Structure 1
Amino acid sequence: MNGVVLVHGLYHDPRHFYPVVRELRAAGVEVAVPELHRGSLPADTEAVQAVVDAMEEPPLVLGHSYGGSVITGLTGVGHLVYLAAFVPAEGESAARLGGSTALLASAVVKDADGVTHVEPSVAVDVFYDDAPAGRAAWAVSLLRPQKPGCGRGVPQRQAWRSTPSTYVICARDRAIDPAVQREMSSRCSTTLTWDTSHSPFVSEPGRVASVLQNLLRPGGGRFGAALS
């Protein structure tokens, strides 16, 4: 593996990963951050698959939150990283796996046409409560409305069954219950637990970049205490 693909979750977009992208590119790592918001899980998966297929070698692919459903349906991947993300089995969707907290439910506002958005005044508490104030405000300003239906999509394959994988549990997550994350992590090859919010790519981008760089090295899936 010599490349990384970062896949964002609902309400987010590629710019949320820019702090991590800067760290990786400074280390000489090839990085791609495809944009989702294509209207359905199959369309989002197809867009990411095109990016994976364009890379010279099977890349390391990280999926955050709903992005876990997207990366689960991919082929040609060297390693999967689920960051506070959904790990669906056959017939499962993110919605079926559940785990949304009461705080997230209270922060989501639905328009008459079914489009939802996260109330900005609550978004820091939901996603970025451990990030520096300025960076958290920047991340909130990038949040986007979400069309309905993506969370109910079911991946057509389960890449984690045949591809090495790492799950990162975010123990201070206020969007997806950490207990549900622990259950889903049992489907992955390796599990790490971080004392972070739902979005460590905003609060601790260097930590995210370090783990990805470690995984790119031969034998890098064997984490030491410093990375856990």
Structure 2
Amino acid sequence: MRQRRIRSVVLSFVMGLVCTLGLVVVGGAGPAAAEVRPTIVLVHGAFADPSGFDDVAQILRDRGYEVVVPVNPLRGPANDSAAIEKVLADISGPIVLVGHSYGGEVISNVNNPSVQALVFISAIATDLNEPAALLLDPIRFPITLLVPPVVLPKVVADPTFPGGTNVDLVITRELFRPIFAADVSEAKAAEMAERQRSFAVAANLELSGAPSWRTTPSWYLVTTEDRVVPASSQRFQAARMGASVREVASSHASFVAQPQATADIILDAVAGTR
């Protein structure tokens, strides 16, 4: 009788210990299993299209990240940031928002509480009531080569503009590679020139809204061989936003020419917001 009672007590103790250890193991595994990776949204700039991010997106997807590459309308920061906000509204969970060139002004005007980090690639990152053109001021930041005859105007249909037409800029095909994409192969640069989306002249002059980079952790990839947004302007912008900075010897088309360097700073931002 006494031996049965002892066995019963021992069995109860062992079962209780097993249950406790099970709870500890399950409890310890819970947070790791529940970790949610951010969706990475890549916003192209002027004279580009979403396909320019193909290699960057593939690197990130191979690392297990969901990547979204929307079309940037290139009409102006207010219109274009609203378009990107509609895309973000359909994404559940945290977001890392990336902008190349004028795409940087667009993401600066996006306000979405799910955005945990901003990444600027060879970008324009405007401040409140600042037009993009001011960050290409040749007196302060010599010197952009994105001027005629490199860029030429054309009249386009534009339902967002009064009268339904607008004046856009395009980069001439023969000058696209030396100015925009000097370190990209000739074949790829020709493809980019063919696929480029034209950019509203008015967008370069529109005053920007309150920048999200004032309240959101930011990263900036400076391209030292840039002939569109001078490296001096890029460094100025990165410094005033307090961004974490990397530099790469690349043209303005760094997101095409240097996809790994571009992906690396995006992954820095992901790691920096965990």
Calculate the TM-score normalised by the size of structure 1: 0.88
1:111 aligns with 2:165: no
Matches of residues 89-128 of structure 1 in structure 2 within 5 Å? Answer: 89-99=127-137, 101-106=143-148, 107-111=150-154, 114-128=167-181
Q: Name the aligned partner's letter for residue 259 of structure 2.
A: P
Post-superposition Cα deviations, 1:27-75, rounded to whole Å, max 9, x if no partner, equal 2211111112253321110111122222222311111111111111112
Asked if the contact 1:84/1:170 (under 8 Å) is kept, the reply is yes
Report how far residue 115 of structure 1 moved. 2.2
Q: Which residue of 2 aligns with 1:182?
A: 235
| Alignment of 1:192 onto 2:234 | no
Q: 8 Å contact 2:100–2:123 — kept in the other structure?
A: yes
How many angstroms apart in 1 are the aligned matches of 2:63 and 2:193?
Answer: 28
**Corresponding residue for 1:226?**
none
Further displaced range: 175-184 or 17-26: 17-26
Q: What is the identity, as a one-letter code, of the residue corresponding to 2:230? A: D
Aligned to 1:225: none
Contact 2:42/2:68 (8 A) holds in 1: yes
Tell me how far 1:102 sits from its aligned partner.
Answer: 4.7
- Matched residue, 2:260: 206
Cα distance in structure 2, aligned partners of 1:155 and 1:103:
23
Give structure 1 stretches of 5+ with no counterpart.
222-228
Deviation at 1:111, TM superposition (A): 2.9
Aligned counterpart for 2:118 among listed residues 73, 80, 84? 80
Alignment of 1:36-51 (within 5 A): 36-37=72-73, 39-51=75-87
- Tell me, yes or no, if the aligned pair for 1:93 and 1:151 is still in contact at 8 Å: yes
Structure 2 residues not aligned, in runs of 5+: 1-36, 156-165
Which of the numbers 61, 64, 69 marks the counterpart of 1:25? 61
Matched with 1:12 is 48
Question: Deviation at 1:99?
Answer: 4.5
Q: Which amino acid aligns with 1:10?
A: A
User: How far apart are 1:17 and its partner, in Å?
Assistant: 1.1
SS of residue in 2 equivalent to 1:191: strand
% identical equivalent positions:
28
Which region of structure 1 is more displaced relative to structure 2, 129-138 or 78-87? Answer: 129-138
Corresponding residue pairs, total:
220
Aligned to 2:7: none
Cα deviations by residue, 1:139-187 (Å, 9 ceiling, x for unpaired): 2221122233112223322111110001111100011111111111112
Report deviation, 1:195.
0.9
Letter in 2 for 1:79: A
1:84/1:220 Cα in 2 relative to 1: closer, same or farther (>3 Å)? Answer: same
- Asked if 1 retains the 8 angstrom alpha-carbon contact of 2:60 and 2:263, the reply is yes
Q: Which amino acid aligns with 1:110?
A: P
Q: Partner of 2:33 in structure 1? A: none
Checking the alignment, whether the CA contact within 8 Å between 1:49 and 1:74 is kept in structure 2 is yes
Once the two structures are superposed, the pairs formed by residues 57-72 of structure 1 within 5 Å of their partners are 57-72=93-108
Q: Is the 8 A contact 2:121 2:255 kept in 1?
A: no
Residue range with higher mean Cα deviation, 208-217 or 169-178:
208-217
The root-mean-square deviation of aligned C-alpha atoms, in Å, is 2.0
Amino acid at match of 1:97: L
Question: What amino acid maps onto 1:108 in structure 2?
Answer: V
Q: Which has the higher helix share?
A: 2
Letter in 2 for 1:196: S
**How many Å separate the matches in 1 of 2:45 and 2:58?**
19
The 2-side partners of 1:132 and 1:11 are apart by 17
> Which residue in the other structure is 1:2 paired with?
38
Please name the residue that 1:138 is paired with: 191
